[in-house]
Amino acid sequence: MRRILKTLVAIFGIVVLDQIAKGILLFLITGSAFVWGPAWSVIPVPYLMRHVTNFFNIVFTWNPGTAFSLFRSLGDNAPLVMIIATGIIIGLLLYYLITRAKSYERVPLIMIIGGAFGNFIDRLRFGAVIDFLDFHIGGIHWPSFNIADIFITVGVLIYILNWWLTRRRCLKNLKG
């Protein structure tokens, strides 16, 4: 029970960090961090906020798709499809984390679930996810992303690395 509580607190911490960053951005643009409703009717897209360095801007964009703006072509159905899909994925990952996850899977799964839940909240509030970190080289821009996306990406990378190292160790033990 104690492990489950620690897990939920860690996930909640990631969600809070993500939502605070997005709330600050909303406040700077609209004067309120508690904007609710159809996003594009409230704030224009994209809204360039601040040029920080020669390779980094803070921007404001709405992403109705998934990571790196995939599935934007779903059109008017995108928000509903993404809300349902994200909710199912979060539920399945949380169930696996609590009931079956091995020790090396816990931290990356917490990161993935926390990030996914942060973006899920945006989808429920606005029908799209707020992205604001924009890295670029000259005029070539990486798709903008947010804090939740960082947790998801790093969580997946750690998960894959842990899986690979564990598999390698098991194969080494079998050989010798």
Helical ranges in the chain per DSSP H: 2-30, 39-42, 78-99, 103-126, 147-175
Considering the candidates 18, 122, 134, 149, report the single residue annotated as catalytic.
Answer: 149
pLDDT values of the chain reduced to their tens digit, one per residue, 176 residues: 899 999 999 999 999 999 999 999 888 877 776 766 665 555 655 566 788 899 999 998 888 776 655 565 666 676 788 889 999 999 999 999 999 999 999 999 999 999 999 999 998 888 889 999 999 998 898 889 999 999 999 999 999 999 999 888 887 787 76
Give catalytic status of residue 122 as yes or no: no
Where are the chain's structural domains?
2-175
Considering the candidates 18, 122, 131, 134, report the single residue annotated as catalytic.
Answer: 131
Predicted TM-score (pTM) of the model is 0.87
Give catalytic status of residue 18 as yes or no: no
